[in-house]
Amino acid sequence: MFLQFLFISSAVLTVSCALGVLMVKNIMHSCVFLLGSLMGIAGLYATLGADFVAITQIMVYVGGVVILMLFAVMLTGGNDFVSRAQNLLGLPASMGNKWTYAIGLLVGVVFLLTNIQLIRGLTKALPVKTITNEFPSTVTQIGHLLVKDHVLAFEMSSVLLLGALVGAAIIARPRKQN
């Protein structure tokens, strides 16, 4: 019962805040709705039992990316943060026009049909698993995998982070005044 409550509240939070990101005119409010959406996703990870991934989501996305976005918005400045662009129906421009919804509907239909075909093939072969009470922590599993099977990916991720750091530092440096 508690799991259902957690799942439903996380899912409602995620979807409603995602809609809020699109429908709000003020960009700062948009960022805060994004924060809510990412917290909802962390809740969804928690209902799946992926504790490490949920907390990584909070630490990196909520504690880092959202703050970075807020800083970036403050960097652009301006008197207020309200966007006045509108589409044909008078809604904010981020809600899209008729082509957005047409293509979205098409993609949705194709996606749905593909998924139905895939799932029909899978459900025949799945045995019914019960959740055992002795649930080992995901952290030690991830640790063992990172050190044994995916060592190269682990080391390459550090090189990737170095590249990101150098690139970001170069982009954010002030240009030489000629």
Partner 1 sequence: MNQTVVSYLSQYEFYDFLLALFRSNQGVLAFTLYLLLALIIVGMCATIGGLGTYAERKISADLQARIGPNRVGPYGLLQMLADGVKMMTKEDIMPFTADKKLFYLAPLLCLTGVFATLAVLPFSSGFIMADLNVGIFYLVAISSLVGLGVFLGGYASNSKWSMLGGMRGASQIISYEIPVTISILAIVLLAGGMGFGTIVGRQGGLPHEWFMFHNPFAFIAFFVYSVGALAETNRAPFDLPEAESELVSGYHTEYTGMRFGFFALAEYIEVFVVCGVAASLFLGGYNVPGIKLDILPMQAAQFVIFMTKTLVLYYVVIWIRWTLPRLRVDQLMSVCWKYLTPIAIFNLMGCAIWMVVFNGKSIAELVLGSH
Partner 2 sequence: MIPAQFDALMPIVIFMGLAILLFFGGHYLSVVLAPKKPSHLKSTPYECGELPVGSAWSMFNVRFYVVGLIFIIFDVESVLMFPVASIFRELNDMGQGGYALIIFLSFISVLIEGIAYCWKKGDLDWVKSFQHSHKKENK
Q: Does 174 bind partner 2 (CB under 8 A)?
A: yes
Which range touches partner 2 (CB under 8 A), out of 12-20, 45-53, 95-103, 108-116? 45-53
Quickly list DSSP for 89-152. TSSBGGG--HHHHHHHHHHHHHHHHHHHHHHHHHHTTPPPPPPPS----HHHHHHHHHHHT-HH
Nearest distance from C-beta of residue 118 to partner 1, angstroms: 33
| Among residues 99, 122, 172, 178, the one that binds partner 2 under rule CB under 8 A | 172
Q: Which residues 116-145 are close enough to bind partner 2 by CB under 8 A? A: 131, 133, 135, 139-140, 142-144
| From the list partner 1, partner 2, none, partner contacted by residue 129 (C-beta under 5 to 8 A by kind) | none
| Backbone φ, ψ for residue 9 (5° rounding) | -70, -40
| Among residues 64, 105, 108, 113, the one that binds partner 2 under rule CB under 8 A | 64
